[in-house]
Chains A and B, each alone.
Chain A
């Protein structure tokens, strides 16, 4: 038995250590999404409002029914008067009027359906919520791109910064350290609020850590902070929509486990009673 325990330890440590060795590989450091938002009804409702007002013009959520918003404390009346702008019924799914073909023509790619986007954008390296939280706050003006916008989390993104009025103008500083044939080079690009870029390059001596760092300077910091809150709410809503059963699931799960602890205790007691006969 002792042998077996030490063996299991060897196996377990192999399983734990290996992924740690291979971690890293995400392009940039993502900002951490404030996960507590996913359980706050006010945040979820605000997120739903932003989603219906802005996102739903181009992106659909064809797997999500309007009346599923009951789960975040909205009733049919509220859904109909505040969120549905067309002639849809509360039992309909959140379809979008934009034709897929037009979307492709305008943005270079059909805007993806957002029903399960948080899960679809998750990977072994990062959570989809962190990615979307960074993406939606990662826009900067870039006069060289077709839409006039670019993004630190998704370079040359097809989607323009449709929420820019909420965030206000910003200046972006993007610092890249990359290995070139001349050794390591640090390139700093400063994009002003109109998207004009000033780039300076500087060779580095010796070994340097490759990667991209970025920082923003908002013209109106209070507005930008409010925008961060709104985006967090929006991402919380997207996280709810990706798996609407999530909230009730963990609530039921607790009771299931409580029952199983009780069940197992009784089964253990029964087992030991029977096995008393075995000599």
Chain B
């Protein structure tokens, strides 16, 4: 009859005979996906990110039912959702808390990758998909933030879109193209709404699928950084692997409970989270004629915002000599003749475009934008920047671990100063932070090779429960 021969009975059998793919995929990704048995708490954030994505999509659908993407009604309609729509406040706070939770979860997920070398060969593509997801997430957050049409929505969008105008030649036209108007206006609100509710989410979901498919093809890394597929039992399963379902599904459900306690703790008792999740100024309706004295993006963007603000005309000297020194370093470090000259040449040209004394110097604002962009894009390079012989921090020299912690502290300090109004202390700290931030990544090919790695065991470290 052309039906697929099935081993299942009843409804499952009926279904399997007509769509064998479903069962095959279930096996591939759940019941017969072998994950290392030594996962720790750090490995829950991928699953949590999916949960938060689902929260954002579902609450987003309900918000769209009552939100009005119109400059005259947007602010009012958000408050209407919060006050007059039954359960509306719950949906809206889910979405606003979810936005911050998404970044917390994703930052911890990325930190896990740095801790255990999850981006190392052969998982570079998984990491690249992940970085693209992160970029989409940033775009999604940026576009979404305009929608409540408060003062911070408005002026934050104004500042960020204006950054593009710093790009030589095409800049002013580009920012006009993004805004669709000469200032942020109803036109901008409408196109940002379109990006936020359909364009970016579509790309985001596609990338999440690619991220997971690539992961399940290669298999997960683990805290020991050992390939479990190197040791198979007689039936061809990894000896240190266990089926994702049920072992990690029950584990993730348990951790989901913990996460939801924190999530709903914030949502029900501190939905503004002291002005970090919902900025106070954003409860003032957007007013194109009144610029707030202090414009700060939401906390998850502030590390990069600090880097943007750190680049002043005096700092250009530091930046120019830094780039030049890095070019010289690459010249001596690279083996291929062509690469050496290209590296040095690019560094010299960049330094000429940076040095305030040079006639070719470009506006420091432009370099601020470049630095901010580079601070995000540099994550893509990690699989190639990290040259440590051991994958996991467990078997790398102890000070490597403390370097990573120092980086995390620098990231948080930059983030903190990004929320604060400009001041000399703020500027100086951000500049030091910027140097350390880039130093961590750009010097990684050298420092990650230094020191004596500890012996890596053959089998994963695991104590039965």
Contact = CB atoms under 8 A, between A and B. Distances in A.
Contact of A250 (B253, B269, B401): B269
A267 B253 contact: yes
Contacts of A254: 268
Contact of B76 (A63, A242, A260): A63
A199 interface: no
A11 B408 contact: yes
B412 A122 contact: no
Interface string A102-132: 0000000000010110011111100010000
Interface stretch (B230-238, B278-286, B303-311, B320-328): B278-286
Nearest to A242: B283
Contact of B465 (A122, A253, A267, A272): A272
Given A64-B83, A278-B242, A252 B274 contact: no
A181 to B, nearest CB: 21
Contacts of B257: 260, 263-264, 267-268
A261 interface: yes
A275 B412 contact: no
Contacts of A113: 285
B83 A260 contact: no
Given A68-B83, A244-B83, A275 B280 contact: no
Nearest to B401: A3
A63 B73 CA distance: 11
Nearest to B266: A253
A274 B247 contact: yes
Contact of B416 (A15, A119, A253, A279): A15
Contacts, number: 118
Contacts of B90: 249
Determine which residue in A14, A128, A252, A261 has the highest number of CB atoms from chain B within 10 A of its CB, and name it.
A14
Given A14-B412, A68-B83, A278 B280 contact: no
Interface of B: 37, 76, 79-80, 82-84, 89-90, 242, 246-247, 250-251, 253-254, 256-258, 260-261, 264-265, 267-269, 271-272, 274-275, 280-281, 283-285, 398, 401-402, 405, 408-409, 412-413, 416, 419-420, 462, 464-465
Given A124-B274, A261-B261, A264-B257, A7 B401 contact: yes
20 contacts: A7-B402, A11-B408, A11-B409, A14-B412, A14-B413, A15-B416, A63-B83, A120-B281, A244-B83, A249-B268, A252-B268, A253-B264, A256-B264, A264-B257, A264-B261, A270-B250, A272-B465, A275-B247, A275-B251, A278-B464
Given A65-B83, A120-B281, A256-B264, 12 more contacts: A14-B412, A63-B83, A122-B280, A128-B280, A244-B83, A249-B89, A249-B268, A253-B269, A256-B268, A260-B261, A270-B253, A275-B251
A245 B405 contact: no
Interface of A: 3, 7, 10-11, 14-15, 18-19, 22, 62-65, 68, 113, 115-116, 119-124, 128, 242-245, 249-250, 252-254, 256-257, 260-261, 263-264, 267-268, 270-272, 274-276, 278-279
